[in-house]
Chains A and B, each alone.
Chain A
C-alpha cells in the first residue's frame, strides 16, 4: 500500500511525500509523467495524487494512461488553478479535487476515504 505523488514542483512534492511518510502513509514521488507511467504499474501503489497542470501532459491525460495499465488505481487531483473547466474536469475524472495550498490533514482525510471504500 503506497501512494504515488506526481507534480512538476519538486520542492512541493518531495516535502509532501516526506510529511505523509512521517504520518505513516507510505508515499513515493516523481516530477515527470514518464517516470510516473513507469512506476504506476507496480502493484504496491494503490492511490495516485496528480497535479492537473503539468508540462508535456495534463494530469487528466496521465490519469487515463495510468488507468489503462492499472484499472484499480484510485486518483486525487491537486491544482493551483481553480478555473471552472479544470474543476469540472477534475471532479468528473477523480474522486477528489483539492486546490493548493491545502492543509495536509485534508489530504489525509481524502486518502482515508478512498482506502475505506
Chain B
C-alpha cells in the first residue's frame, strides 16, 4: 500500500500511457523534460555536498597524518635519547673505573669482582667484566664463564676499541649462545702501554628500555644494526638477529620519519634514529591502517550519513520532477482533449453540411419523380382500361412509396445537419431515439439484430440540446452495434426519476467490458478498437457533452454477457449552454 503510493509519487504519468497505434500524441518530450530536471537538480544538490565531503576527508586525512608524523618523530627522538643515555651511562661508568681504579686493583680477580658487584648494584645490566692488556690477552675476568687468558688481539672489537678509545658492539650470541652485547673502554696510553676494560651487558635491560618507550600501542619499536639485523625482538618483523624486511634508511644525525611499505605491502610510517657511537638504529614502525583507524571509522559514519542523505535528496528530487512533469502533462492532455473534441465536432459539422447539400440536391429530382409518378397514376385513374390494372397501379404506388422513403432519409439528414449548433429546446426523447435508430435499421436487418425500444408515452418532455442528444445516442447505439454479434439484441428503455431527471438505458448482448476497462472507458484515447481505427474519443466526447448538459453517464457490464449504458438527463436545463439560452417550443 505504502510502496504503491510512494511509487505513484515518483513515477510520472506519461510512463503509464502505452500507445497501441504507435502514434505520439505528446506535444512535448516529457521523458526529456523529466530526465533533464532530475539530472539538473541532482547535480546542483549533490555536487557541492560531495565536493565538501571529499575536501573535508582529504584535509582531515592530512591533518591526522601530519599529527602522527610529528608524534612519531617525537617518540623516536625521545627513545633515541633514552638509548643513548643508557649506553653512555654504562660506558661512562667503565671510563670512570679505568680512571679511578689502579691497574693493580683491576687485574686482581677479587678487585674486579668487587667492581662488577658495584656496577650491577649501581646500574644493572652488567653480566661480566674483564681486563685486556695491550696485546689482546684477557689478564683478569670476573663473571659466570672462565674466559681468563683469552686472546682478543685479532677480534674486531679489540682493534676498533684500540683505534677509537671505546667500543659498543652489536648484539651477538658469542660462546654462550645467549644474545648479549659488549662495551669496552681503553685506558690512557702511558709509555706505549694501555689496557682495556670490557663488560658484557645483559640484553634484557636493553629490551626493557625499548618496550617502555613503546608508548604508542599498536606500533612496533625495535633496534637493528646497520645491516638490518634485529638487535631487540620485533613484534611484527622477527626475533633477535633476524633480518628485517624493511628498507634501511640512510644515515641521519637527527631523528627522521618516512613512509614505506612493509613486507605485506601495507603502507607504514617509520620513525628512525641512528644512535651515536654505536652500530644501532632505533626504529618505530606504525601501520597506517592502525593510525587511520579512527579516521576510517569516522569516514564510514560520514559516508553512511551522506548516502542516506543522498537517497532522501534523490527521492525528493524525483518527487519534484515527477510532480512538475505531471502538471505539464495534465495541462497538455486537457489541451489535447479540447483540441480533439473541437476537431471531432468540426468534422461532424462538415459531415452535416455535406449531408445537407446532398439531401437538397436529391430532393429536387425526387420531387420530379414523385409528381410525375403521381401524374401517371392520376391519368390512369381517368381511363377505365388502366383503372382496373392492379399491377400497374401497384408499380406506381411502389415508386411513390420509395420516393416517400427517400424523402424521409433526406429529411433526417437535413435534421441531423441542423443539430450542431447547441440550443436548448423541448425534446421528446422517444422521437429523438427513434430518429437516431432510423440510421441503424438497415444494419439491424442485415445482421439480424433485434432492437427493442420501451419508452413510456408519458415520459416527460425534457429541455436539452437536440443535436447533442442525437450525437450521444448515435454514438452509444453505434457502440452497441459494434459490440453485438449476429443475432444479438439491443434494448433501449427510459424512465423518469423523481420528476427531476430521466434515465435512458441502452443495453446490448455484446462482448462486454472488463471491470478494469470500465474505469477507463470515459478517458480520452482509451480504445480497444485501435486496430480497427477507433480513436478512443467517442465516449469521452459523450461524457463531455453530458457534462455540458448537466447530465451523467454510467456503465454496467459483464464480460461475455453484455453492457448497459445509463444516460441521466435533467428534465429542466438550468444554466447556460455556449452563451445561448433559448427555450423554444
A interface vs B, CB < 8 Å? Answer: 9, 11-12, 15-16, 18-19, 22, 78, 80-84, 99-104
B347-368 toward A: CB 8 Å interface, digit per residue (1/0)?
0000000001001111110111
B372 interface contact, C-beta 8 A: yes
Q: Which residue of B lies closest to A10 (CB)?
A: B368
B414 interface contact, C-beta 8 A: yes
B331 interface contact, C-beta 8 A: no
CA distance A74 to B411 in the complex (A): 26
B364 adjacent to A9 (CB under 8 Å): yes
Most buried by B among A11, A15, A19, A22: A15
Question: How far does the Cβ of A103 sit from chain B's closest Cβ, in whole Å?
Answer: 7
Pairs across A and B, CB under 8 Å, 28 listed: A9-B367, A11-B368, A16-B371, A19-B375, A80-B364, A81-B360, A81-B363, A82-B359, A82-B360, A82-B410, A82-B411, A82-B415, A83-B360, A83-B414, A83-B418, A84-B418, A99-B363, A99-B407, A99-B414, A100-B363, A100-B366, A101-B366, A101-B371, A101-B403, A102-B367, A102-B370, A102-B407, A103-B404
B179 interface contact, C-beta 8 A: no
B interface vs A, CB < 8 Å? Answer: 356, 359-364, 366-372, 374-375, 378, 382, 400, 403-404, 406-407, 410-411, 414-415, 417-418
Chain A interface helix/strand/loop/mixed? mixed
Most buried by A among B359, B362, B374, B382: B374
A9 adjacent to B368 (CB under 8 Å): yes
CA distance A102 to B433 in the complex (A): 24
Q: B366 to chain A: which residues have CB within 8 Å?
A: 80, 100-101
Question: How far does the Cβ of B13 sit from chain A's closest Cβ, in whole Å?
Answer: 43
Chain B interface helix/strand/loop/mixed? helix
Q: Known interface pairs A80-B364, A82-B360. Does A101 touch B378 (Cβ–Cβ under 8 Å)?
A: no
Q: Known interface pairs A19-B375, A81-B363. Does A12 touch B368 (Cβ–Cβ under 8 Å)?
A: yes
Which of A16, A83, A101 makes the CB contact (< 8 A) with B404? A101
CA distance A103 to B374 in the complex (A): 9
Question: How far does the Cβ of A62 sit from chain B's closest Cβ, in whole Å?
Answer: 18
Question: How far does the Cβ of B412 sit from chain A's closest Cβ, in whole Å?
Answer: 10
Question: How far does the Cβ of B374 sit from chain A's closest Cβ, in whole Å?
Answer: 6
Question: How far does the Cβ of B355 sit from chain A's closest Cβ, in whole Å?
Answer: 11
Q: A80 to chain B: which residues have CB within 8 Å?
A: 359-364, 366-367
Question: How far does the Cβ of B445 sit from chain A's closest Cβ, in whole Å?
Answer: 24
Q: Which residue of B lies closest to A85 (CB)?
A: B418
Question: How far does the Cβ of B84 sit from chain A's closest Cβ, in whole Å?
Answer: 122
B372 adjacent to A82 (CB under 8 Å): no
CA distance A93 to B400 in the complex (A): 30
CA distance A83 to B414 in the complex (A): 7
Q: B370 to chain A: which residues have CB within 8 Å?
A: 100-102
Q: B361 to chain A: which residues have CB within 8 Å?
A: 80
CA distance A104 to B404 in the complex (A): 12
B375 adjacent to A18 (CB under 8 Å): yes
A19 adjacent to B378 (CB under 8 Å): yes
CA distance A102 to B415 in the complex (A): 16
CA distance A22 to B382 in the complex (A): 9
Which of B367, B372, B417 makes the CB contact (< 8 A) with A100? B367
CA distance A83 to B359 in the complex (A): 10
Q: B410 to chain A: which residues have CB within 8 Å?
A: 82
CA distance A112 to B410 in the complex (A): 27
Q: A18 to chain B: which residues have CB within 8 Å?
A: 375, 378
CA distance A64 to B265 in the complex (A): 117
Question: How far does the Cβ of B223 sit from chain A's closest Cβ, in whole Å?
Answer: 118
Q: Which residue of A lies closest to B363 (CB)?
A: A80
Q: A9 to chain B: which residues have CB within 8 Å?
A: 364, 367-368
Q: Which residue of B lies closest to A11 (CB)?
A: B368
Question: How far does the Cβ of B405 sit from chain A's closest Cβ, in whole Å?
Answer: 10
Q: Which residue of A lies closest to B375 (CB)?
A: A15
B411 adjacent to A99 (CB under 8 Å): yes
Question: How far does the Cβ of A23 sit from chain B's closest Cβ, in whole Å?
Answer: 8
B375 adjacent to A100 (CB under 8 Å): no
Q: A100 to chain B: which residues have CB within 8 Å?
A: 363-364, 366-367, 370, 407
Q: B411 to chain A: which residues have CB within 8 Å?
A: 82, 99
Which of A12, A22, A78, A84 makes the CB contact (< 8 A) with B378? A22
The 6 closest A-B pairs by CB, nearest first: A80-B363, A82-B414, A100-B367, A15-B371, A101-B370, A101-B367
Question: How far does the Cβ of B348 sit from chain A's closest Cβ, in whole Å?
Answer: 16
Question: How far does the Cβ of A32 sit from chain B's closest Cβ, in whole Å?
Answer: 17
Which of A12, A19, A82, A84 makes the CB contact (< 8 A) with B367? A12
Q: B372 to chain A: which residues have CB within 8 Å?
A: 11, 15
Q: Which residue of B lies closest to A84 (CB)?
A: B418
Most buried by B among A16, A18, A80, A103: A80
Q: B404 to chain A: which residues have CB within 8 Å?
A: 101, 103
CA distance A82 to B415 in the complex (A): 8
Q: A84 to chain B: which residues have CB within 8 Å?
A: 418
Which of A19, A82, A99 makes the CB contact (< 8 A) with B374? A19
B414 adjacent to A101 (CB under 8 Å): no
Q: Which residue of B lies closest to A83 (CB)?
A: B356
Q: B403 to chain A: which residues have CB within 8 Å?
A: 101
